[in-house]
Amino acid sequence: MGASFLITLREGLEVSLVLAILISYLVKTGRTAETGGVWKGTGLAVILCLVVGIIINAAVGGLNGTVNQIVEGCIAVAAAVVLTWMIFWMRANARSMGSDLRQKVDAATTVSALAAIAFFATVREGLETVLFLLSAETGSSSGVEVVLGGLAGLAVSAVLGWFIYKGGNRMNLRLFFQVTGVLLILFAAGLVGKAFHEFREALDLHSGGLIDPAWTIESGLWAKGTFYDFMKGFFGWHAETEKIRLIAYFGYLIPVMWLFLKKPSTKSAEQTSSNPVSV
């Protein structure tokens, strides 16, 4: 539930930022009557993402055995790759996102064009969310918790989006994206470890130097219960973790986290202000 909450909070806030920029700019330029096109495009994107998510979830849920392990491994890899790309893309492009969107609005002379801008901006985030939530579900093995956490994240992101729209440049989002970026990298590391676990099972490898457990915990807080389920679903923790899974986890985590936390160059630092986007 924690992983799905963070995922939809982060992705939902990015959509909220886009909508806040589009709506506020239309209002400021005297095009308030055209805001309906933005909501139509957004609504269509949401419906499409929901349909795609339901279809993919139904298809994956019907798989068993080796095929299911391979598919879950591939989903975990794809989600980790896209998640990593999304985190670094946002860090590099957040500063110019507002001006880019305003330029697109200036070029959009019809309501349909505005709807298309909102649609493509929302559908990208929505399809990413579908992929991440599928990974969160297979990781925590609780579809209900994933849905509840996802809905909670969307609700909070909608509220934050409203405050961003009202607060404009006074909203400081840099710390938010920094903290959620770190948490999502930890989540992605768990996905990488999970992928190796699934591929190992698909290859029917059950013993050996890298296959044997690095540790085995049979009881207590770290072996079962609510806390264990949270750590398993969010950070990829397991009471019995094979060595190859542990190596894959830190093999991803250490270099990616270092790159994310690394101090930007002087030139990049001068271009970055305390507000990553301008509404």
Q: How many C-beta atoms surround the C-beta of residue 241 within 10 A? A: 18
Burial class (CB within 10 angstroms; exposed 0-12, middle 13-18, buried 19+) of 255: exposed
Report mean pLDDT in 10-residue bins for the chain, 279 residues: 79 87 89 92 94 86 82 90 90 80 88 92 89 69 71 87 72 75 91 91 82 88 82 82 92 95 64 56
Longest Cα pair distance anywhere in the chain, in angstroms?
Answer: 69
| pLDDT value for 220 | 87
| C-alpha–C-alpha distance, residues 87 and 34, integer Å | 32
DSSP the chain: -HHHHHHHHHHHHHHHHHHHHHHHHHHHTT-GGGHHHHHHHHHHHHHHHHHHHHHHHHHHHT--HHHHHHHHHHHHHHHHHHHHHHHHHHHHHHHHHHHHHHHHHHH--SHHHHHHHHHHHHHHHHHHHHHHHHHHHHHHT-HHHHHHHHHHHHHHHHHHHHHHHHHGGG---HHHHHHHHHHHHHHHHHHHHHHHHHHHHHTT---STTTSEEEE--SSTTTSSHHHHHHHHHH---SEEEHHHHHHHHHHHHHHHHHHHSPPPHHHHHH--S-SS--
13's tokens? 């806030």
- Give the per-residue pLDDT at 10: 85
In the chain, the amino acid numbered 168 is: G
Q: Are 227 and 261 in contact (CB under 8 A)?
A: no
Burial label, 247 (beta-carbon count in 10 A; 0-12, 13-18, 19+):
middle
